[in-house]
Every structure is written in C-alpha cells, then in structure tokens.
Amino acid sequence: MSRTASQVFDVVIIGAGAAGMMCGIEAGRRGRRVLILEKARKTGQKILISGGGRCNFTNMFAAPDRFLSQNRHFCKSALRQFTQTDFIRMVEAHSIAYHEKKLGQLFCDGSASQITEMLETACEDVNVAIWCDAGADKVKKKGELFEISVGNQVITTRSVVIASGGLSIPKMGANDFAYRVAAAFDLELATPRPGLVPLTFEMKDMKRFADLAGVSADVDIRCNKTHFRENLLFTHRGLSGPAILQISSFWQLGQSIFIDFLPDLDLESHLKELRRRQPKAQIVKILSEYLASRLIPKLLGTLVSVPEMGNCSDQVIGKIAASLKQVEITPNGSEGYRKAEVTVGGVSTNELSSKTMEAKKAPGLYFIGEAVDVTGFLGGYNFQWAWSSGYVAGQYA
C-alpha cells in the first residue's frame, strides 16, 4: 500500500509490538481497513530480545491473580476472551516448536523471530498495512474521526488504538506517547514506575555484601503481603534474579524486603537437633551443605564465630536462624527503566472498558498492552496480557 494516506482508515494502531500486531490481525480479520504505525525500523523489537532471544510467549497458568493493577479485576474479561490456550493454538498452527522451561513458562525452541514472523504473516494475510519508521506525533479528534500526525502527513481514521507500550528500556525507543495521548483526552494515569527490575543496595548493605556479585540462592522473598519462591542473584550494585524481579513490582521506595535463604528448612529445630546429635559440629560447616560458602559469613555476621553447636544456647540458635531466614534489606532504589522489563501503572483502568479496552470518555480511542495499568508477573504473563488486550480491542475497533 502506498504510504500516502489520502484514504480514511477504519483502524489505525500506534505501535507494532505484541499488542498492536495482535490487534491488527483481529481487526483485519473483521474486514476492517487497518494501518499499523511503527516508530522503529522493524516490528516487535521487544519480542525479539525477550526470553533471552527465545521469547517466553505465554504461561500455561496465566490467570487474573498473576497481574497487578489498581483494579485487579480489570484484566479478567480480556484474559477470558483470549486465553493462553488460544495463543498456544496460534503458535502450533504456525508450526513453531516450543517447550516449558519451568513454572508453566513457554519458550520457542528456536528463536523469538518466529513469533514476529508469525504476527507479520498473519497481518499480511488479512491485508493489514504496517508502516515502519513512522512515529505518530499527535492524535486529535476531528468530528467523528481521529487525525494522527506522522511527520508532515496527517492520517485519518475512525478508530485509533494506542499500543505504544510503556517506559521500560528507553534506549529501544520506549516513550510516554500513550500517556500524552491519555492526557490530551483527559484520561487519568496510575503513576508509572519500573517493574520487574533489579534493586540497588544502600551503602550499609553495599559494604556488607561486597564481593558477592555472581552468588545466587534459592530463596523465599517477601514484601508487604506478597511473597515469591525463586532464585536471587547478588550483583555489583544490589540484587537481581527472578525472585527480586518479581518482588520489585510490589516494592515501593522506603519499604523493606525480607528474605528467607533456607525456605525448605526449619533451621531452629534442625540446629537444636544437631546440638544434641553432633555437639562438635561447626555452624559454618553445617550451613555449607545448603548455601554458597561466600554467603554464609556475610549473613551470619558476628555469629560466624559462635562455638561448636554443643555450646550454643537456645537464644543463640534463634539468632542464627533469624540471620538466615529473616534477612531484612531496604533497597535505596532500583536500576530504573534502563533495566526494567515492564512499567507498572499506566493508563488507568477506570478510564477503559474491560470488555473492549475502549476509553469511556472518548469513543473510538483504545489503549492496549503495556500502556495500560495492568502488569504481569515474570514468566510470560506480560505477553499474554498484550495478546489478550490486543485481541479484545481488535474485535471492537
């Protein structure tokens, strides 16, 4: 299709990421005349880098309780209208081989580019035009229609779908376009913040845990009332790994996180039992069965020099257990949008219909994907939200 936009489109989608392309496919299937505008030189850039290049494209256990939002019920309708099983069927219909890595997380056996190719082919099959290198500058309402400015062109459309993502990874072009459009139409935002992001140590912990970069542990991690059982990784600046990424979406500046480094062990009872059976045993030796040896003295602190188990009082055993099972850390921040996999917050769900993703105050204007205040846990949930919300808007736009 010529890139001179003299005709009126039925649907213009801004952003050719996961949500935008899924929406395009569905609107195109309905016979709508669809154009997708993409600022970057190619489509689906985040899909291509996701899951270490293999794209964790959904999760077998996707369910509303795996998503954060100011309204935790909002995602239910879209997730029901287009489920993980629907997306898996699509992947299978395109003969893309996949596997479960862990915890229901599904990855391509080959490459993430198989997913972008699948979406591009499906768009082509239903005559959806995709213009790359075509960043939208503004969206305005003109009578019953919308006008979108792209450089010196103005594109006219009956419906417009904002699928331009959130703020994570600015060096890939992430920007606040969706929030600016929301503001122009007087729609509220849930304050955006980085999610699924490494956290950084304050000076005291930086000194305490110096030299541990690269050490990992299987932990139970808690913040407020939420907890996750996953792997934690020490970095040069703080903490990362799936456990930290997961809890980071629930953490706010000033709050502490609590880490249990021995989640499978009732350490206090275990040590009391050892005191009886092996009074000569040394605490460091006992713990080295469970934890990286570099980590043990850092967690024990001065308790590292306690005498053999036989001489430990109940009180000392209690302190040892607490030093490993209730480690309190108060991060002084996160690595920010530079490293965040997602943006928590976004266009407020109060402003949108959960059934269609259309703005209640601005008929014909839709928001989908990461631009909206719905954020999934780590593990393929964010793509599932992109597919589900994109599918839904594609039925109505």
Say if residues 44 and 118 touch (Cβ distance below 8 Å): no
Contact window for ligand FDA (CB under 6 A) among 65-73, 167-175, 226-234, 351-359: 167-175
Q: What is the 3-state secondary structure (H, E, C) of 147-166?
A: EEEECCEEEEEEEEEECCCC
Among 5, 11, 12, 19, binds ligand FDA (CB under 6 A): 19
- Of positions 11, 12, 13, 14, contacts ligand FDA by CB under 6 A: 14
Q: How far is the CB of 313 from ligand FDA (least distance, A)?
A: 49
CB atoms within 10 A of CB 121: 11
- Interface positions, 105-144, toward ligand FDA (CB under 6 A): 135-136
Please list, in sequence order, all residues whose beta carbon lies within 8 angstroms of the beta carbon of residue 254, skipping any fewer than 6 positions away: 330
242 is a contact residue toward ligand FDA (CB under 6 A): no
Asked if residues 345 and 191 have their Cβ atoms less than 8 Å apart, the reply is yes
Using H for helix, E for strand and C for coil, what is the string for 232-266? EEECCCEEECHHHHHHHCCCCCCCCEEEECCCCCC
Range 61-80, binding ligand FDA (CB under 6 A): none
In the complex with ligand FDA, the residue whose CB is nearer, 251 or 383, is 383
Residue 397 found at the interface with ligand FDA (CB under 6 A): no
- Segment contacting ligand FDA (CB under 6 A): 1-9, 11-19, 182-190, 206-214? 11-19
Q: What is the largest CA-CA distance in the chain?
A: 87
Question: Using the rule CB under 6 A, which residue among 28, 50, 87, 334 binds ligand FDA?
Answer: 50
Tokens of 90: 């699509």
Which range, of 17-25, 269-277, 300-308, 348-356, touches ligand FDA by CB under 6 A? Answer: 17-25
- For 80, 116, 121, 163, 268, the CA distances from 206, given in Å and listed in that order, are 45, 41, 49, 39, 28
Q: Which stretch binds ligand FDA (CB under 6 A): 49-57, 202-210, 258-266, 318-326?
A: 49-57
Among 18, 91, 197, 262, binds ligand FDA (CB under 6 A): 18
- Between 135 and 331, CB nearer to ligand FDA: 135
All residues at 6 or more sequence positions from 99 whose CB lies less than 8 Å from its CB, including other chains: 106, 107, 109
Residue pair 346/370 in contact (Cβ under 8 Å)? The answer is yes
Closest contact distance (angstroms) between CB of 102 and ligand FDA is 13
Smallest distance from the beta carbon of 282 to ligand FDA, in angstroms? Answer: 43
Q: Which helix (H) or strand (E) holds 389?
A: helix 381-396
**386 scored as a contact of ligand FDA (CB under 6 A):** yes
Q: Which of 163, 182, 190, 243 binds ligand FDA (CB under 6 A)?
A: 163
186: its two tokens: 């007087």
Query: Could you give the 3-state DSSP secondary structure of residue 42?
Result: coil
Which of 112, 132, 113 lies closest to 40 in space, CA to CA? 132
- Specify whether the CB–CB gap between 250 and 224 falls below 8 A: yes
Contacting residue, 13, 25, 27, 55, with ligand FDA by CB under 6 A: 55
* Region from 12-20, 89-97, 231-239, 322-330 binding ligand FDA, contact rule CB under 6 A: 12-20
Q: Using the rule CB under 6 A, which residue among 230, 260, 341, 358 binds ligand FDA? A: 341
How far lies 370's CA from each of 56, 160, 363, 380, 385, in Å?
16, 16, 20, 13, 8
Minimum CB distance to ligand FDA, residue 380 (Å): 4
Which range, of 88-96, 153-161, 168-176, 352-360, touches ligand FDA by CB under 6 A? 168-176
Residue ranges binding ligand FDA (CB under 6 A): 14-20, 37-40, 45-46, 49-51, 55-56, 135-136, 163-165, 168-169, 173, 175, 177, 341-342, 369-370, 380-383, 386
